[in-house]
Amino acid sequence: MVIAQTNSIPNSALTLQSAIKLTLANAPELHEFTFKQQAIEGDIKTASLKPELIAGIEVENFLGTGEVSGIKDTELTLTLSSVIELGNKLSSRKAFASAQSQAAEVRKQVRTLDILAEVTRRYIDVLAQQALIKAQKDAESLARYTYQAVTKRVEAGASPAFEQQRAEAALARARLEVLTALQTKQGMINSLAIMWGEQNPTFTNVEGDLFALPPSPSLTSLFTILLESPNLDVYAQDARLQTAQVRLTQAAKQSDLSWTAGIRRINGIDETAFVAGVSMPLFAGNRNLGEYEKQRAIQGQLEQQKQSATQNLYHQLNMALIARNNALLNVQTLKNAIIPPLVDALSLVEQAYINGRFSYLEWVSTRQELLNAKQALIQSAKQAHQRGADIESLTAQPLADANVTSFSSKNQ
């Protein structure tokens, strides 16, 4: 998600791009995949090895009794043995290890999307809190002005003394809300900095325009984009991995041929002879049948899991889009139809109170309505941004690009 930048933020502010860069460079969860890939590369090297050669030595007819006492009739045999793998086992092992590497890479992409969505959400928390602090400070200034105006009327005998006390309490409450909002903001900044392991944040603000909200793309275009996202590709990679596992298991059904060759020295007749032999297990394929059927069943299970995951992701995408569209509608309505008349109403009620035509309660009530509307506007904009981050995490594509795709599909 791209947050529009403003020029009113001090130099100690952080951009979303910087937050993302810091997180990707320092997130332990992503660096973990580097070691996973190194482990898989080791498996690939191991899988590429051919059967080892085994050298052996065998001594017979020595240190016996009678005719075979001592070593005069000793038979010494030197052998070299190995296995001839049948059933294409070598390539099956390599294909399985390679499929593991591809599956791990896609899982890293999925985890990266989750982390990017989380850092964006925490960034939006801070950005929205900054807007809320501004609204709270405006409310504090208005409460101070109200207190001063009420004090003048009380001193002039135009209003009862309790109104001054109520105005004083309202000003204290407004100050408290500002202090609480500032404290909450610092906690949010700490949570954001934790994403890249920084315990003492060096920034005090974040940059961005909370109310710069691009329109939502269509659900149809989002569904199309989702089909190409890593969130579904991970199931495709799991299916490829399981296919490689099935082939590996199928290759294991074919018995290997063991061979032995060597030379034998017979001391009793002072002669040398060559020896050789081959062996193969009988009925080995039947012993592996159960494992093969198990892996085939898992293969079918993965296909069902993919279909279930697709439906679940469609639902998540639909719900995120509904929430975002509702938030956008709230933002538009609050900005254009609710807040402007409340601003005008507050000005009219203020003047009417000063002229003695309205009560203090009506002034305070109108002021609170305006503050509530501003807070609702901030929360709606925050909701729109955060649900946009959810959509981007699911589709692995920025909303701006998704809008282009949606526009293109409508014009085809």
> Per-domain residue ranges for the chain?
13-50+85-253+288-410, 53-84+255-287
Q: What is the pLDDT at residue 65?
A: 57
* pLDDT score at 81: 82
- Mean local confidence (pLDDT), 294-313: 83
Q: What's the average model confidence in pLDDT over 215-230?
A: 91
CA distance 346 to 191: 37
Dig out the tokens for 29 from the structure. Answer: 């969860």
Question: What is the C-alpha separation between 330 and 377, in angstroms, rounded?
Answer: 7
pLDDT at residue 249 tops 80: no
pLDDT of residue 411: 47
Q: How far is it between the farthest Cα atoms of the chain?
A: 138
Rounded Cα distance, 143 and 151, in Å: 12
163 burial type by CB count under 10 A (0-12 exposed, 13-18 middle, 19+ buried): buried
Amino acid residing at 119: V
74-78, 189-193, 369-373, range with the lowest pLDDT: 74-78
Under the banding of pLDDT at 50, 70 and 90, the label for residue 70 is low
Residue 307, pLDDT > 50, answer yes
Query: Residue 177 carries which DSSP code?
Result: H
Whole-number Å distance between alpha carbons of 197 and 75 = 70
Q: For the chain, give the percent of residues with pLDDT over 70.
A: 88
Q: Please, which pLDDT band fits residue 23 given cuts at 50, 70 and 90?
A: very high
pLDDT at residue 170, as a whole number: 93
Q: Does the pLDDT value for residue 46 go beyond 60?
A: yes
Residue of 393 and 295 predicted with greater confidence:
393
pLDDT at 412: 46
Mean pLDDT score across all residues of the chain = 84
Two tokens at 130?
């900054």
- Min mean pLDDT across 106-110, 240-244, 267-271 is at 267-271
pLDDT attached to residue 244: 77
Please indicate whether residue 373 or residue 59 has the higher confidence score (pLDDT): 373
- What confidence score (pLDDT) does residue 73 get? 66
Q: Which CATH superfamily is domain 13-50+85-253+288-410 in?
A: Outer membrane efflux proteins (OEP) (1.20.1600.10)
Which pLDDT value is given to residue 71?
Answer: 62
The arithmetic mean of pLDDT across residues 233-238, rounded, is: 82
Average pLDDT over residues 301-315: 87
Q: How much is the pLDDT for 137?
A: 95
| N residues, the chain | 412
pLDDT for position 182: 97
Nearest to 78 by CA among 234, 233, 341, 274: 274
Reported as a single tens digit per residue, the pLDDT across 103-122 is: 888 888 899 999 999 999 99
Q: Residues 374-394: pLDDT tens digits?
A: 999 999 999 999 999 999 999
For residue 55, what pLDDT band results from cuts at 50, 70 and 90?
Answer: confident
Residue range 23-46: mean pLDDT, rounded: 84
Structure tokens at 199: 């315990």
Three-state SS for 78? strand
Query: What is the pLDDT confidence band of residue 286, given thresholds at 50, 70 and 90?
Result: low
Cα distance from N-terminal residue to C-terminal residue, the chain: 26
Give the pLDDT mean for 197-204: 91
The answer to whether 365 and 350 are in contact (CB under 8 A) is no
Q: What is the pLDDT of residue 10?
A: 40
Question: What pLDDT sits at residue 6?
Answer: 42
What pLDDT, on the 0 to 100 scale, is given for residue 96? 81
Q: What are phi and psi of 160, to 5 degrees?
A: -70, 155
What are the angstrom distances between the C-alpha of 17 and each of 8, 24, 136?
18, 11, 28
Residue 245, pLDDT > 80, answer: no
Decide which of 314 and 53 is more confident.
314
Confidence at residue 11, expressed as pLDDT on a 0 to 100 scale: 47
**For residue 57, what are the β-bridge partners?**
78
Lowest mean pLDDT among 6-10, 127-131, 216-220, 380-384: 6-10
Mean pLDDT of 157-175: 91
Q: How high is the pLDDT of residue 404? A: 52
| pTM of the predicted structure, to 2 decimals | 0.79
